[in-house]
Structure 1
Amino acid sequence: MSELILVLDEGTTSTRAMLFGPDGTFHGSAQQELTQHYPRSGWVEHDAAEIWERTLACAREAVEKAGGADRIAAIGITNQRETVVAWDKASGEPLARAIVWQDRRTADACERMRAGGHEREVQRRTGLLLDPYFSGTKMRWMLDHEPAVRSAAEAGRLAFGTIESWLVYKLTGGEHLSDASNASRTLLMELGRPGFDEGLCDLFDVPHGTLPEVVDNAGELGKASAEWFGRAIPVTGMAGDQQSATIGQACLEPGQTKATYGTGAFILTNKGREIPRSEHRLLGTVLYQLGGERTYAIEGSVFVAGSLVQWLRDSLGILEVASQTEELARSIEDSGGVVIVPALTGLGAPHWRAEARGVVTGLSFASGKAELARAALEAMAHQTHDLAEAFAADGARWETLRIDGGMSANDWMAQDLANMLDLTVERPGFVETTALGAAMLAAAGVGLHPDLASAASAMRGELSRFEPDMDDDVRTARLEAWREALAAA
């Protein structure tokens, strides 16, 4: 009986294939790391061919674990957003390395557009700011600097897409699609209108014909060819990773908010059918589109979260494994005055300073690895507090915060968030809600549940709650030290 959902969870550092039942039960996974390429300071690239090959290998391993393709009802896809792939429509092969969402190479181009007075209009139409984070300027850079991309464009063979678009193209043997949540991250789609906008394409000088068709987040989106798994399997759910995590946390009503702490940290508040208009440098985005109708979210994006802990482990060598941070944080009363501003790839919302760089303040001979580890975890609450103030100023005050992602498994960090935000923090028993959200979409799309709300109700698990327990003067002192350090960045 076909009852399992196969989710392809395409992250920044790894690719996974995960299996879910219609009740949300996790049935296993397969995972492979992705190679990170850093050709210059501020540049981050992936090999799109490697992404496809390793994703397919993980998917085949998961299907085997499931007992064969006959047990798979549908495929859901969730992905690192804003990363751009350029490929040849004729050969189906990538034409250059993918430019990753973290990449900052187009900072000067964004600054020129801001100086030209374009940002206010771009934000009004797309909900986004002029920042290298988003896909449009990456596409233009490829056309200007990659001869193979330019040649393919001139010959009418160029296809641009974000990662879900690339995977669907390879799975289906040629379908060129993007779901509305991912399309809303490109700077090339107006929030209130269907499809990519020709005027925005002209502004960013990206040929409209190179872009995919924009489709719903659930439904009959395509079919994976039988050559990959021995049977054609429908693709019935797709969403960018942060929208997918919001769905996985069942934030389907206006005002409900989730925060994902993975490589970066991303907070979304459901805004219903209201197109978000931020006055405090937050982002408006499509949360999901069903039956052509859009639900929106307001979003704050922090570029460095779990990657800060990875840096402490891999570059500084003060950790053997990331989970050590909790033990180290608990081993001392406070950080000893050490504050970390993790602007290793610039500052995201609400500051949006691409040129900012990381800062560590308050060091003394008494500072050791425990102080640095605790300061790294405290930086998550400090950055989140900045966003909480911006959300409140935009009329989207949080009542509770639902957290997920790999870092959220750290109880000390979850409690510190509750303390610094002075509100209840909820964490699901299964913290990989990005994949779970894609499973919910796919389950609704294939008919295992009648609609998305039913899928979310049936598939969401139990919660842990963390209540605030910090004196106001301690919170105030922490925030004052953070703001001083932030000014130095």
Structure 2
Amino acid sequence: MPSAYIERSNEPLIGAIDQGTTSSRFLVFNTNGDLIASHQLSFTQLYPRPGWHEHDPEELVSSVEECIDVAIDSLERLGPYSRDLIQAVGIANQRETTVVWDSETGKALHNAIVWTDARSQDIVHELRQRPGAEDLAARCGIPLSTYPSITKLLWLLDNAPEVQAAYERGTLAFGTVDSWLTYKLNGGVYRGVHVTDPSNASRTMFMDLESLKYDDDLLSWFGIDPTKIQLPRIVRSSDPESYGTLFGTSLRGVKITGCLGDQSAALVGQNGFSTGRAKNTYGTGCFLLCNVGPKPVLSEHGLLSTVAFDFGKGKAMYALEGSVAAAGSSVEFLKNSLGLIDSASDVTELAETVDDNGGCIFVTAFSGLFAPYWIHDARGTIFGLTGFTKKGHIARATLEATCFQTKAILDAMAKDSGRSLTDLAVDGGMCHSDLVMQTQADIIGIPVKRPMTLEATALGAAIAAGMAVGVWSSFEDLEKLEKSRAVFEPKITAKEASHRFARWEKAVEMSRGWLA
């Protein structure tokens, strides 16, 4: 317990749930965006078959609840702070990951199918043959692939008897992870809170990108009967009432007032409120978002059009997005599958044992390539192996793969938006590596700016929640949260960068067609 002699703080605090692909976290921020307390907990990754990736929905919830309790205990041990100072809680979540449950019992009907999962490949192939397939992206912003939630839902309806039965009864509830968490954290069937925000709803292929409402024509095209499935109500990303209150944990009774898909949250946390601001998050995957303003921009170069955030009238913004399927997960592959490193943090040290990649190019297409390539039958391939190749060369080629794919996305983004970035704001776990950041700057030819704190995703969730309850009242208020940054300037010539990228592009073409 804190000492009675320590002066108590009256400073408002905001909590943030950051529910990611490999771990859950709860973080507490003050009004200056400083991190006060946090706790992180990894949860089980399930790979029942090659190309399949699942999570236990109940473990997602329990990991979040444990993180809240441990973080609040740590907060109060600091002395001046108490849980009563927390004004609201925001949620940032892994997107596209699909959860289905029975609305009468509140029971999950299947493991969550994770955004990286590629089991719906055959469904995608069949859908692409249907008339109108080429027009879908213009309405919902996303091309057909195994990535969005719709193909995962269709697989469940075709292959999971409990899901099929609930659909026929009309008790099937669908949600991305934000909806499932909000539902369970509110007490499940006790309150029946079933909501989502536009940044998450735009990842399903159900929502019209301009109206921010479910599109009956889209649902019909996919063969979904809206009378047999309960879809979450779409509400603003920052809302004082719609997300309910925590039913349990040590924060029982505290309101949930913000919700953003994790990549939108990172854009918000990087102060990306104005047109032209962009960020790249290096997590399990790698996600580059550029704010394109209050109207969606449809990509002609392999990018996704998505909702950046909706903070109310005049404060809704859209983004162009490029997604790399394997970033941090490729480092995990070196550790778990190849045994080249003992922990992910060792990869930079291994890569620095050599001066370059030794001619190795590693196309990390473990489940195909995402934007801007969208090559679904590509698989992970390493080119250029010789008797000279060492572990360090493979480690360096692994890190470079993420940087090359980021370069491809930036090039596509410049073509779609008509403007090139002058610098790139970054965050996420791989950003701790100076080698990765310098390599990225070298390949893209512009400065890379890394903030002193890399908690942009959680901070974005906190901002959404805080805006709803008046902790911050305007985007101008949030300018003070901009922290000092480390800047990585390019150190190689544009000619050398172009040569390296050309070799990468050649390797990408050679990685096609491996899915038999």
Deviation of residue 269 (structure 1)?
0.6
**Partner of residue 215, structure 1:** 235
CA contact (8 A) 2:437 2:448 kept: yes
- Alpha-carbon distance in 2 for matches of 1:3, 1:257: 29
Mapped partners of 1:319, 1:253: distance in 2: 41
Q: Offset of 1:396 from its aligned partner?
A: 4.1
1:441 match: 464
Structure-1-length-normalised TM-score: 0.97
Determine if the alignment matches structure 1 residue 29 to structure 2 residue 38. yes
In structure 2, the residue matched to 1:110 is 124
Report if aligned partners of 1:238, 1:442 keep a CA contact under 8 Å in 2: yes
Specify the code of the residue in structure 1 equivalent to 2:332.
Answer: Q
- Residue 319 of structure 2 aligns to a residue whose secondary structure is strand
What displacement does 1:122 show? Answer: 0.7
Q: Secondary structure at the match of 1:323?
A: helix
Task: State the Cα distance separating 1:195 from its structure 2 match.
Answer: 2.1
Pair 1:125 & 2:134 matched: no
Q: 1:279 aligns with which of 284, 300, 308?
A: 300
Q: Are residue 152 (structure 1) and residue 162 (structure 2) matched?
A: no
Query: Quick one: which amino acid aligns to residue 482 of structure 1?
Result: W
**Equivalent in 134, 138, 144 of residue 148 of structure 2:** 134
Cα gap change, 1:359 to 1:227, in 2 (>3 Å): closer
Q: Structure 1 residues 453 and 98 mapped into 2: Cα distance closer, same or farther (>3 Å)?
A: farther
Equivalent residues, number: 488
Question: 2:87 is matched with which residue?
Answer: 73
Q: Tell me the equivalent position of 2:5.
A: none
Q: Does residue 94 of structure 1 match 2:108?
A: yes
Partner residue of 1:186? 204
Identify the residue that residue 393 of structure 1 maps to in structure 2: 415
Q: Using the alignment, how far apart are the partners of 1:290 and 1:157 within structure 2?
A: 31
Instruction: Report the AA paired with residue 444 of structure 2.
Output: L
2:435 and 2:263 map into 1 onto residues whose CA distance is: 23
Q: Which runs of 4+ in 1 moved over 6 A?
A: none
Q: Which residue of 1 aligns with 2:3?
A: none
Instruction: Specify the code of the residue in structure 2 equivalent to 1:409.
Output: H
Partner of 2:57: 48
1:383 is matched with which residue? 405
Q: Give the CA deviation at 1:28.
A: 1.9
In the alignment, the residues of structure 2 paired with residue 205 and residue 168 of structure 1 have an alpha-carbon distance, to the nearest angstrom, of 27
Structure-1 residue corresponding to 2:434: 411
Counterpart amino acid of residue 65 in structure 1 = S
1:345 aligns with 2:367: yes
Cα distance in 1, alignment partners of residues 510 and 69 from structure 2: 49
Are 1:49 and 1:93, in contact at CA under 8 Å, matched by a contact in 2? Answer: no
For 1:258, give the aligned amino acid. Answer: K
SS at 2:340 equivalent: coil
For normalisation by structure 2, the TM-score amounts to 0.92
Say which SS state the counterpart of residue 35 (structure 1) adopts: coil
Give the AA of the match of 1:252.
F
Shift, 1:18, TM fit: 1.0
After TM superposition, give the deviation of residue 472 of structure 1 in Å: 3.2
1:224-235 mapped onto 2 (5 Å cutoff)? 224-229=245-250, 231-235=252-256
Deviations 1:181-235 (A, max 9, x none): 0000000001111321111111122333410000101121333244433641111
Hey, what's the Cα distance between the residues in 1 that align with 2:388 and 2:145?
Answer: 39
Q: Is the 8 A contact 1:165 1:212 kept in 2?
A: yes
- Secondary structure of the corresponding residue to residue 48 of structure 2: coil
Q: Where does residue 267 of structure 2 map in the other structure?
A: 246
| Root-mean-square deviation (Å) | 1.5
Choose 117-126 or 9-18, whichever is displaced more. Answer: 117-126
Q: Structure 2: how far apart are the matches of 1:157 and 1:357?
A: 38
Q: 1:9: Cα distance to partner?
A: 0.6
Q: Could you tell me which amino acid in structure 2 is paired with residue 99 of structure 1?
A: I
The residue number in structure 1 matching 2:448 is 425
AA partner of residue 106 (structure 2)? G
Instruction: Encode CA deviations 1:363-396: one digit per residue, 9 max, x unaligned.
Output: 1121111111111111122111111211122124
Correspondence 1:450 to 2:473 = yes
- Cα deviation 1:4-36 (Å, max 9, x = unaligned): 211111000111111111111101211111211
Shift of 1:473: 3.6
Alpha carbons of 1:224 and 1:401: their partners in 2 closer, same or farther (altered >3 Å)? same
Gaps of 5+ in 1: none
- 1:230/1:315 Cα in 2 relative to 1: closer, same or farther (>3 Å)? closer
Alignment partner, residue 361 of structure 1: 383
Q: Percent identity over the alignment?
A: 40
Quote how far apart the aligned CAs of 1:156 are: 2.1
Q: CA deviation at 1:78?
A: 0.3
My pick for the range that moved more, 201-210 or 240-249, is: 201-210
Aligned to 2:7: none
1:291 aligns with 2:312: yes
